Amino acid sequence: MVSENQHRATESSPLLHDVDPEAADRAKKSGWQQELKIISRYTAPLMVALLLQHALTGSSIFMVGHLGKREIGAVSLANMTAQITGYFVFQGLATCLDTLCPQAYGSGNPRMVGLHVQRLTLFMLVLTIPIGAIWYNADRIFMLILPAESHETAVLAGLYLKIAIAGAPGYACFESGKRFFQAQGLFSASLVVLLVCSTLNIFMGWLFVWKLQWGFIGAPIAVAIANSLLPIFLALYVIFIKGSECWHPISAEVWRGWGPMLNLAIPSWLMIEAEVLAWEFMTLISSQLGPTELAAQAALSTLSDFAFQVSFSIAIAGGTHIAYLVGSGLINRATRAAQVLVFASLGAGLANMLVVLALRGVIPGLFSDIGEVWHLIYFLLPLGAVVQIPDAVATSLNSLLRAVGRPDLGSYVQLSIYYLVGLPLGIVFAFWLNWSIFGLWCGILIGQSIIVAIEGFYFWKMADWAKASREAVERME
């Protein structure tokens, strides 16, 4: 174990690889500017990487887009199922490493970064067994839910998920593996890997679906191969480029210490899954309002999803930085960085809102040229634009909760507010007050605003940063 004097940093200590003494001096003097510069530098590659990863898992719909309506419906159904029951599970669990890995690196225990990653990777690989069982039997589940005329779509969606099982372990390994690099400040590593794999995915999709004329099954085969290649290229990056200093030799230690890890992983997953399912419930509720409302909901949720990638990348970059500072014992600097992160996320939310409003006349035509759908999207866009502000701030506050080791608080708030306030209010507004889909979005806006108020109040009045730092050191020991 590294001694306290060896691994505890000072208030002027730079982040991760910023070892220039002049940079350290600037960090001490510049305050907000230095923290904003650090967060911004890591946000850019992370944002592109998140968009690439999002596009990779959803690329199948473009691969089969000209095969027919049934194929498009099957891919959409399969992707939604894969995300809710698999991809978002892995993403949510892996966010516990946003707490553990930067805190380990900041406390002077670089090999603990590798051990944390190995433990969670093993846990998620075990989890792929029940997830794979769900995907393998998905066609039977779909047939019980969908009407008889959609059984062919159910069979195709089930076939897609059967093939996608092969890529699930790779996706799980990549989700934990990219945190291995982020903890070291190597945010470009996952970007490089995703650029390579996304390019291969596009080529394989064209090759399998069209050139070799495999048709529908070519799309999930391409995605499964690309997902399987992701952790392989990460490993090659460690071996031949950078990041090996944090690797922990494979040992029996990987089977121990799961309790503290799961205490962070499960609430972290619930935070992600609560919000994702809330948006899916909005889609299901919209289907009861009519096809026009469902089409408009699909358009606005897609738009919000892409906007979310901007705020989420800022949140992850800032949260990783702050978790490092907490692990290093730099409490004053951590609180300053937290303030910068919240205001940066507020700025991102405002920017997203202004972009949506500026393109209000263009966006509806990107989704539909049907008159009533176009006009409903146009009518809803100002409300959808305003929602971007609390959504962005809440995302960063959730990341802050992970940085200080309190994802449990975030999971309680998210679950209670979304499902006891936001969605119920939306249903009341939509059906009882006849506000239709406008009412659903009003409910979500109110719910997210309450989440921001509660979590913001916690950091303003109740957060104990010194305790979080002590717990981080104890967790490493």
Q: What is the Cα–Cα distance from 104 to 100, expressed in whole angstroms?
A: 6
Question: What integer best gives the mean pLDDT of the chain?
Answer: 86
Q: pLDDT for 34-51, tens place per residue?
A: 888 889 888 988 888 888
The answer, yes or no, to whether residue 29 has pLDDT greater than 70, is: no
The answer, yes or no, to whether residue 23 has pLDDT greater than 60, is: no
Which pLDDT score is estimated for 387?
A: 96
Name the most confidently modeled range: 137-151, 247-261, 297-311, 449-463.
Answer: 449-463
% of residues, the chain, pLDDT over 70: 91
The answer, yes or no, to whether residue 344 has pLDDT greater than 90, is: yes
Q: pLDDT for 61-120, tens place per residue?
A: 777 766 666 777 788 788 888 988 999 999 999 999 988 999 889 888 888 899 999 999
Which pLDDT score is estimated for 149?
A: 67
Which is it for the CA torsion 366, 367, 371, 375, positive or negative?
negative
The answer, yes or no, to whether residue 437 has pLDDT greater than 70, is: yes
CA atoms within 13 A on the CB side of 24: 12
Q: How confident is the model at residue 389 (pLDDT cuts 50, 70, 90)?
A: very high
- Report domain extents, the chain: 43-256, 266-476
Average pLDDT over residues 308-326: 91
Which pLDDT score is estimated for 476?
A: 67
Q: How confident is the model at residue 388 (pLDDT cuts 50, 70, 90)?
A: very high
